[in-house]
Every structure is written in structure tokens, then in C-alpha cells.
Amino acid sequence: MVFLAGVAWLAWSGAPDERGFWPLLVGAIGLGLLLVRDRRAYAEALTRGMSQSLVALMILAWMLAGLMAQVLNTAGFVDSVVWLTQQAGVGGSGFVVVSFLMCCLVSTATGTSLGTLVLCAPLLYPAGAAVGSAPAVLMGAIIGGATFGDNISPVSDTTIASAGTQGASIGDVVRTRLRYALPAASLALIAYAFLGGTGVEATSVQSATAGAGALALVLAPLTALVLLLTGRHLVHGLLAGVGVAVVVALAGGLLAPADLLRVEAGQFRAEGVLLSGLERGVGVSIFTLLLMALVGGLEASGFLEHLLEKMEAQSSTATAAEWKIFGAISAAVLITTHSVVALLAVGPLARRSGARVGLSPVRRANLLDVTVCTYPFLLPYCIPTVLAASLTVSDPQVGGDLALSAWTIGLHNFHSWALLAVVLLAIVTGYGRRDGVET
């Protein structure tokens, strides 16, 4: 509660970058130490939460994505994209629409929303802002497109977890989930088209003199994407992308070796594009470590299990059972901030409650997955929104003028807001309730 109150205060105060969350997380963790009975067990739970393999993967991905983006941006790739966009006559609103659709395709193909963000946001955001896209709407479109694939992709971790916990076929789940995802995406696309072109062309990106010289650098993100599509690990794809970016930049004369790394004689320090790129991932990495420590302590306390036990009472109607499933998964994801953890925790309750009133496994899986693909992409204390906010200040040429808070980005993620509205209407009206039921 202390952490959430602090987040709300930061949001209303204009929310600084991800570093502003660090003291709040440390304070909340410290308060937990005063409240627990077994302080040693609590400390061990904190470190377990921080040392999960998923956390290590996210931190390494933040670092490598920042490194690739820094090389591309310093070598002039963003300027060339702006030049190409202007040559094609694509305005600010059109760029927002294209960005949303592109992120939908990437996230659906790869099944990862965070991977889509680290691949697409550092390239699309500064370029779109330079051609007149409204910055908040543009980043909302990018994170919204990343959400789309996380929701419907057959290789998404949330799709696999929701279907697996309910005993549903992944094929049936993906096919029927489109009835929720496509209306939400259509509404979001209309909003992005109408609101995306209200920005002011950024003067800090010198697009007028960029030309096509750095367009060959597109091979770097394409290499990473192709490797992901062929089943390679995210770290493999990002490392390969960094390597291709460095080779192309050096071979094309876009960067000199000294630009990449140099030692400042007599000052006992090193500087260069490689170091500044890695540093871009530090803020969100520390946030991730502290947040997962806090979540680890909450999980170990048994608070979530106790809450779910309180919701175990039998439901008499299908609608009542669906509201219970929606409430349970909402509470779990709001507490843990992690979609898959919430799905695994609530899955058994959803299966039992839904089966009693005849809800099919497909319907239960869809309610769970659609719900968890909303909150983490809307609320300012979750990793996806904080990551997106950190990516808006990653380009040194753009600077802080285009920096956005996690709160602002969540408000402009029209796709996730529409998805939340769709699932609420589906429960009220029964829309999609017959999915997976033999008639």
C-alpha cells in the first residue's frame, strides 16, 4: 500500500523517470521487514524474487537493446528513417498507425511484448516524434501493438499459461480470442489515427540533411527479429543485432572505432557509444530488481493465497463465476505485477469455479488472458509501462523534451483500455460465452 500510494503521488506530480521509483520500493521493502514475523525468511524471499532467471533475462535484454539502439541512433539511422518517411509523404498520424500495425505484427510473430518494445520503441519513437506524431499517442501505439501479440500469439507465455491451466487447446484459444482482440484493436486504430498527428515536428533531429546513408543499419533489428522468428533466444537475437549494427556502422563510415569506445587519458574513465548504450538499461534494471524483490516478499507471505481462498465460495450462475474469475485474476496481477505468475496462481480457482457452472475451458482461458493483457500495460508501477517510459529518453539527440512518464504512456495505450472494456462487456452480455462449447 505504501508503494502504490507513492506511485500515485509520483503520477499526479508529473512522475520522474524510473529512478524516482527506487526510494519508494526500498521504503516499501523496509516496511515489510518491520511487519514480518521471520525477518530472515523475508530477506531470503526478497533475494529469491530478484534472482529469478526471468529477471536476469529482462535485465540483460534491457542492456543489449539499449546498446543496439544507441549504436543505431548515433550512426544516424533515426535521421534516415525520418528522411524516408518524409519522402513517402507519411505524416504524424500515419506514422502512429503504421507503428501500431508494425508492433502488432512483431509481437504476434514473436509472442513477446517486452521484446517488441525493446526492438521497436528505440527506433520508432524518435523518428515518429520528428515527423510530427504526438509523442504520448505514438508511444501508446507502440506499447498497444506490443500488447496485441502478447494476447493472441500462440507462442506467447500468457497464451500458453492460460490455455494450460484450463486444459484448453491453444489453437481453439487463439482462434476464439480474436473476437476480443480485433474489436479492441479496431477501436484503438481509429483513436490512433485521429489523435496521432497532433505533435509538433522535433527540431532536434536533423532529418532534413539525413538522406538514405544510414538505412543499411536496418539490417541490425531485422537480424534480431529473424532470429526470434526462427526460435532463437531473445539474448541471441539482441547480441546478433548489436554485432550487425557495429559492423555496418564501421564499414559504412558512420562511426569511427573511437566513437565506440575510448579512454580519457589522465581522467581515469572510459567513454563512447558502447558504454552510453549499456548505461541506458541501468535505471529500468534497478527498478525491475527492486520490484521483483517486493513481489517476492508478498508471494512468500501467503497474502495472495489467502485472498484467493476468500474468493473460493461457489457461484450459482455463469455470470457470477465470470465476475469471480475476473476479480481474482485482476487482484493477482495488480499484486504481483506479473501476468504469468498471476495466471498460474488463479488458474486452479478459475478452473473449479467455471466448471461448476458449465463455462468451457476456452472461455475461462480467454477471460484470464484478456484480463492480464490490460493492467500491466496501463498502470505506472508495472514493468512494461516503466520500460516504455525509459525508452522515451534514450536518444541523446532528442534529449528530455520528449520524455514521457509511465502514467502518461498507460493513459494513451488505447488498445489495452479497449481490451479491458471488451472483457467487461463480454461478462455483462455473455458475448463469447459459448466459445468451446459443443452445440
- Exposed/middle/buried for residue 425 (C-beta within 10 Å: 0-12, 13-18, 19+): middle
Among 338, 343, 333, 238, smallest CA distance to 288 is for: 338
Which of the given ranges, 80-94, 128-142, 416-430, has the highest pLDDT on average? 416-430
Answer whether 131's CB lies under 8 Å from 84's CB: no
Percent of the chain topping pLDDT 90? 31
The pLDDT value recorded for residue 68 is 85
Interval 131-160 mean pLDDT: 90
Contact 224, 122 (CB under 8 A): no
Phi and psi dihedrals of 264, rounded to 5? -85, 105
pTM of the entire predicted model:
0.83
Residue-by-residue DSSP string for 79-108: HHHHHHHHHTT--HHHHHHHHHHHHHHHHH
Tell me the HSE value of 310 on the side-chain side, using a 13 A CA sphere: 9
Give the pLDDT score at 398: 39
| CA 395 to chain CA centroid, nearest Å | 19
Out of 185-194, 234-243, 333-342, give the one with best mean pLDDT: 185-194
Q: What is the pLDDT of residues 277-324, one digit of tens each?
A: 888 788 888 988 998 899 889 888 888 888 888 777 777 789 999 999
Complete DSSP assignment for 321-337: HHHHHHHHHHHHHHHH-
Average pLDDT of the chain, as a whole number: 85
Gyration radius from the chain CA atoms: 22
Angle between helices 414-429 and 318-336 (to 10 degrees): 150
Give CA–CA dist 176/180, Å, rounded: 8
Residue with cell 492480464: 372
Q: What is the 3-state secondary structure (H, E, C) of 149-178?
A: HHHHCCCCHHHHHHHHHHCCCHHHHHHHHH
Instruction: List, in order, residues 6 or more apart from 158 with CB less than 8 Å away.
Output: 150, 151, 339, 340, 343, 369, 372, 373
262: which strand partners?
271
- Residue 206 is predicted with a pLDDT of 45
Distance separating alpha carbons of residues 54 and 116, to the nearest angstrom: 16
Closest CA to 274 of 286, 253, 287, 257: 257
What pLDDT score was predicted for residue 16? 58
Query: Are 149 and 107 spatial neighbours (Cβ–Cβ below 8 Å)?
Result: yes
Rounded to an integer, what distance in angstroms lies between the CA atom of residue 159 and that of residue 181? 13
Q: Strand pairing of 262-264 and 269-271?
A: antiparallel
* Residue 23 pLDDT greater than 60, yes or no: yes
The set of residues, in sequence order, having a beta carbon less than 8 Å from that of 170 and lying 6+ positions away, is 154, 159, 160, 163
Please tell me the predicted confidence (pLDDT) of residue 199: 55
Contact in structure between 58 and 114 (CB atoms under 8 Å)? yes
- Tell me the per-residue pLDDT of 186-221, one tens digit each, with 9 for 90 and over: 999 999 999 988 755 544 444 444 456 788 888 888
**Residue 282: CB atoms within 10 Å:** 16
- Give the amino acid at 276: S
Provide the residue ranges of all domains of the chain, joining segments of one domain with +. 17-429
The whole-number pLDDT of residue 401 equals 65
* Cβ atoms 216, 252 nearer than 8 A: yes
Highest mean pLDDT: which range of 118-132, 175-189, 230-244, 255-269: 175-189
Q: Is the pLDDT of residue 372 over 60?
A: yes
- Cell (9 digits) for 77: 539511422
